[in-house]
Structures are given as C-alpha cells and as structure tokens.
Amino acid sequence: MSVVTLTVNNEMVGAQEGQNLLSVIKEQGIEIPTLCHLEGLEERGGCRLCLVEVEGSNKLLPACVTPVQEGMVVTTHSERLVKYRRMILELLFAERNHVCAVCVMNGHCELQWNAAAIGMDHVRYEYLNPNLPVDASHDRFVLDHNRCILCTRCVRVCDEIEGAHVWDVMGRGVNSRVIVDLNQPWGTSQSCTSCGKCVQVCPTGALVARGTTVSEMEKQHDFLRWILDGREKNQWDYSR
C-alpha cells in the first residue's frame, strides 16, 4: 500500500492510501468532534460533526468517509467549521426531547459533551417536541426514542460485531426511528441475543440498562477493540 502526503493544519503528514481523513487527523493527536463514528465500526458519515475544510473543494467534507489524496490541504478547525458544528448540535437538540437534567446519561452523554465543548449554551431553533414512545418491554434494557440521534451505532454493532442484525431504521427525515426486527417491541424479538452491545455503543440515553436512574448510566466502548483484537488473533478458536 503506497504512502500519500498531505497537509493538516499547516503540518505535512504521511498517510496510507485508502485511509480516511478522520483516522489521519486522530493520528496527529488532533481532537475533532464525532457522534456516529466509533472505532471498530464501519463509518457512516451521518452526524456531520467531523466536517473539515479541504482546499479546492467548494463544500465541507465529512472526515470519516473522505479518503486521503496526495497533496490534500486540510483545515480541521476554523470559525466556519465551529459555526456549522454548533448548528448541527442545536438541530439535534431541537429534533427530539433531550432534557439532560432528568436523563440517565446526564454527565456521561457524548451529545452533551460535544455541546459543552463547542460552547453551545442555547438553541436558536424551535423545538419539535415530538410525541415519541419509550420501549421498556425488554427484561434488561430500555429504548427511549426521545434521546435517539439516529447515529446507527446500534444498527452497525448488531450487524457487524454480534451478527444478529436486530436493529434497523424506518421512516424518512425527522420521522426516522430505529426499530427492532419488523418494528415490534424489543422484548418480543426472537433475533435479539440480549448481549448489550447496542446499549454500550449508544452515545446518548436512547439505549440504557433497565433500572438506571438520573446520571447513573455509564457506557464502555473499549469492548469493541477487545473483541476485534481477539478475533484477529484467533484467541477464541477452540477447535485448535
């Protein structure tokens, strides 16, 4: 695999051909906001928080799904980028019912962290206040559509890591929702293995452990790397 050279924030760096911009940016120790991205899962490019400026392009590009190219000149932080990232976060808060003060993820939520990091202290847009349900039919977990930001981490981890593909997305635009199987209560799903991977990768309080109360829920993403490393090294091949 050949090496390409590009410039990131006025610094010349090398990258492997086929790498995406986000991985190169992270290798340089540059912090860039993300929500749909999670190491170990296929990139989706949905949240658009990782937008960057690329010289010669008339539009902002999502770093997670933009492959590196020889001679690229990339800017990861600018007044324009901060403006767009703040707007995206405000729209996410306005779209659903994110009331942090009474959320089980208060203080541990990635949406909340990103908003605080970018200095978002108010929302300029009218709240939609949708009437969304809470699915508490599962013995161990709860799905709260009010907190969902449609990052599809749950869909991808269930498909790519667990191999069950319990989750999917139905609807369009603001009417989109994550669903279980053919849009049935989670507790009635025959394909769900109750592994909890979807709960652990969810960045907000949309998927939580049953019985948790305000600010109690903390999630661990490290298990993804542990699983993937084990598979690559055949650590659990008991046929040998």
Alpha-carbon distance of 125 to 188, in angstroms, equals 37
Radius of gyration of the chain from Cα atoms? 19
Tell me whether domains 3-77 and 123-232 share a fold.
no
CATH dotted code for 123-232: 3.30.70.20
Fold of 3-77: Ubiquitin-like (UB roll) (3.10.20)
Q: What is the pLDDT of residues 34-54, one digit of tens each?
A: 999 999 999 999 999 999 999
DSSP H or E segment with residue 54: strand 51-54
Domain boundaries, the chain: 3-77, 123-232
Alpha-carbon distance of 70 to 2, in angstroms, equals 11
Q: What is the pLDDT of residues 103-149, one digit of tens each?
A: 999 999 999 999 999 999 999 999 999 999 999 999 999 999 999 99
| 3-state class (DSSP) for residue 75 | strand
Q: Are residues 80 and 70 in contact, defined by beta-carbon separation less than 8 angstroms? A: no
Q: What is the pLDDT of residues 176-188, one digit of tens each?
A: 999 999 999 999 9
Kindly compute the dihedral angle of the four CA atoms of residues 34, 50, 146, 98, in this order, to the nearest 10 degrees. Answer: 80
Token pair for 13: 């760096």
Q: Are residues 179 and 108 in contact, defined by beta-carbon separation less than 8 angstroms? A: no
Residue by residue, DSSP assigns 151-183 as --HHHHHIIIIIS---EEEESSGGG-EEEETTT
pTM, full prediction: 0.93
Q: Are residues 166 and 158 in contact, defined by beta-carbon separation less than 8 angstroms? A: yes
Alpha-carbon distance of 208 to 57, in angstroms, equals 40
